[in-house]
Amino acid sequence: MMASTEKCKGKSIEPTNRKVCFLVLLVSALLAFSESFAVAQTCLFWWESKGRNKPAAVSARNPVRLALYRGQFPLDGQGGDAVGESVHLNSVSAWIRSPDGTVLKAGLFQGEKTVALEFPSELNPAGLNGRYLAFARMDAGPVDTDAEGKDKMVHYYAKYLIGCRNKETAEGKRPDAFFKDAEKMPLEIGPLDTPGTGEKESFLKAGFQEARKKYRMKVLYNEKPLAHADVSIVTQSGWEKRVKTDAEGTFSITPIENHTKAERCLYTVCYKDPSTGEHHCSNLSVMITAPPPLWISKAGGFDFWATLGSGLFIVYVTWTIYRKARRDHKTMLEFERYRIGRG
């Protein structure tokens, strides 16, 4: 293998050696990709919403409960209520970022099956309207991720976006889809809001994405864009896609829909820091909802033209009545002048 590699570096390469070089490069790329996702495939770490799956903001009367799981992301057809392994309270740290930029320790509790977070609640109050970010971190410690007989530090991060709306509550002035805190969460992935392109996500739909709609996403490492990062997208129904970020750490994705229900989707990015050798694995959990049925858009168009037609008809009728009234009034005046002249 080394000899072939040396030949690749030479000025003249035989056709057979070109094939060997190509295979060496291809295998190396596949091994690098497999290593970056080795941790993700064996032990994911994600939030799961335990509430209604409609894209609407939470409130004091309608809180959301987030449960934290690890293991392999559950797919439909696995049987039972496959949700992954439970997480113990003493093994995880969590924070919440509010719409004004404040980051506070999250109040977790040990539920019946795993660690959970209820928002808003007495432990996690919401003093502002806007988008909140729930973030959890679990350090797995030294793990031999690539079977080389050498342990490496592995860190897991899980993020969830929450939109909050309460009456008589002020709006947050510094909403964001990223924590941008390298000490707590060096690696993170999130939506990139782009006004004017149809990709801007209202905070009322935070944590939700619409199928068949294009979204731009971004990956940050140590608060800077991470170029050429490997990202895995998988949905509960089994749809899966792998992409790479561009030079600015962004990528575009158009989720597909489940024709029977809304479903969970997990964006996962893994990165091995070459300077430290540590593995970082971060994800964002969202719900994929079906787009509005075609008949709704057609009905919306019909309603528009029906309303416009009705308005024009009312204007026409009103103008006709007004003109008739003026003609009658003019006729009466002429009749009175004629009658007075005769008299």
The CATH number of residue 123's host domain is 2.60.40.10
- For residue 268, name the pLDDT band (cuts at 50, 70, 90): very high
Same domain, 248 and 179: yes
pLDDT score of 51 more than 90: no
**The pLDDT value given to residue 147:** 58
Residues 6+ apart with CB under 8 A from 51: 58, 63, 64, 65
**The pLDDT value given to residue 339:** 66
As a whole number of angstroms, the distance between CA 63 and CA 116 comes to 13
**The pLDDT value given to residue 55:** 59
pLDDT score of 120 more than 70: yes
Say what the alpha-carbon torsion angle 136, 142, 145, 147 is, to the nearest 10 degrees.
-170
Same domain, 69 and 215: yes
Q: Which residue has the tokens 């002035």?
A: 173
Same domain, 215 and 320: no
**The pLDDT value given to residue 271:** 94
Same domain, 312 and 281: no
Nearest alpha carbon to residue 97 among 230, 203, 251: 203
The token pair that represents 293 in the structure block: 């049925």
**The pLDDT value given to residue 319:** 83
Same domain, 247 and 333: no
Q: Where is average pLDDT lowest: 140-149, 150-159, 188-197, 329-338?
A: 140-149
* Residue after which a domain boundary falls, among 249, 270, 291: 291
- For residue 205, name the pLDDT band (cuts at 50, 70, 90): confident
* Residue after which a domain boundary falls, among 291, 311, 329: 291
The token pair that represents 76 in the structure block: 């439909």
Which structural domain, as residue segments, surrounds residue 187?
28-291
- For residue 272, name the pLDDT band (cuts at 50, 70, 90): very high
The token pair that represents 203 in the structure block: 């905070």
pLDDT score of 53 more than 70: no
Output the CA torsion sign for 122, 127, 128, 133.
negative
Average pLDDT on 23-51 reads 56
Q: Where is average pLDDT lowest: 13-27, 60-74, 173-187, 188-202?
A: 13-27
Query: Within a domain: residue 246?
Result: yes
Residues 6+ apart with CB under 8 A from 237: 75, 76, 258, 263
- For residue 267, name the pLDDT band (cuts at 50, 70, 90): very high
Q: What's the number of domains the chain is made of?
A: 2
Find the radius of gyration of the CA atoms of the chain: 30
- For residue 316, name the pLDDT band (cuts at 50, 70, 90): confident
Cα dist. 74→48, 49, 71, 85, 283 in Å?
Answer: 11, 14, 9, 10, 15
**Cα first-last separation, the chain:** 126
More confident residue, 85 or 301: 85
**The pLDDT value given to residue 295:** 41
**The pLDDT value given to residue 21:** 44
- For residue 8, name the pLDDT band (cuts at 50, 70, 90): very low
**The pLDDT value given to residue 341:** 65
Query: Within a domain: residue 187?
Result: yes
Same domain, 173 and 301: no
As a whole number of angstroms, the distance between CA 84 and CA 65 comes to 17
Average pLDDT on 299-305 reads 56
As a whole number of angstroms, the distance between CA 204 and CA 49 comes to 16
**The pLDDT value given to residue 144:** 63
* Residue after which a domain boundary falls, among 255, 271, 291: 291
Cis peptide before 55 (omega within 30 of 0): no
Within 13 Å of residue 175, how many CA atoms lie on the same side as its CB? 20
Query: Within a domain: residue 16?
Result: no
Which long-range contacts link 255-261 to residues 24+ away (Cβ below 8 Å)?
255/209, 255/210, 255/211, 255/212, 255/213, 255/215, 255/288, 256/211, 256/212, 256/288, 257/211, 257/212, 257/288, 257/289, 257/290, 257/291, 258/211, 258/288, 258/290, 259/290, 261/53
Average pLDDT on 36-65 reads 72
- For residue 38, name the pLDDT band (cuts at 50, 70, 90): very low
In DSSP terms, 73 is beta-bridged to: none
Average pLDDT on 5-16 reads 43
pLDDT above 70 coverage of the chain, percent: 72
Same domain, 297 and 286: no
- For residue 83, name the pLDDT band (cuts at 50, 70, 90): confident
Query: Within a domain: residue 216?
Result: yes
Average pLDDT on 269-281 reads 92
Same domain, 51 and 137: yes
Q: Percent helix, strand, coil in the chain (nearest 5)?
A: 25, 35, 40
Question: What are the phi and psi torsion angles at 116 (to 5°)?
Answer: -135, 160
User: What is the overall mean pLDDT for the chain?
Assistant: 79
The token pair that represents 319 in the structure block: 């103008």
pLDDT score of 276 more than 80: yes
More confident residue, 64 or 16: 64
**The pLDDT value given to residue 20:** 43
